[in-house]
Amino acid sequence: MNDAIKQNLQARAVRYLAKREYSRLELAKKLADHAPAPETLSEVLDALEQRGWLSAERVVEQVLHGRRNKFGSLRIRHELKEKGIAEHLIDAAMSNLKETELQAAREVWRKKFGVIPENLKERSKQARFLAGRGFSSGVIRQVLACSDDEI
Predicted pLDDT at 99: 81
Mean pLDDT within 128-145: 94
The CATH number that applies at residue 4 is: 1.10.10
Q: Tell me which residue range forms the domain holding 10.
A: 1-54
Q: Does the residue 10 lie in any domain?
A: yes
Query: What does the chain look like in DSSP terms, one character per residue?
Result: -HHHHHHHHHHHHHHHHHHS---HHHHHHHHGGG-SSHHHHHHHHHHHHHHTSS-HHHHHHHHHHHHTTTS-HHHHHHHHHHTT--HHHHHHHHHHHHHHHHHHHHHHHHHHT-S---SHHHHHHHHHHHHHTT--HHHHHHHHT--GGG-
Q: Does the residue 133 lie in any domain?
A: no
pLDDT by residue (tens digit) across 47-94? 999 999 999 999 999 999 999 989 999 999 999 999 999 999 999 989
Domain count, the chain: 1
Identity (one letter) of the amino acid at 143?
A: V
Q: Does the residue 36 lie in any domain?
A: yes
Q: Does the residue 139 lie in any domain?
A: no
Using the predicted structure, report yes or no on whether residue 1 has a pLDDT greater than 60: no
Considering only residues 103 and 146, tell me which one the structure prediction assigns the higher pLDDT.
103
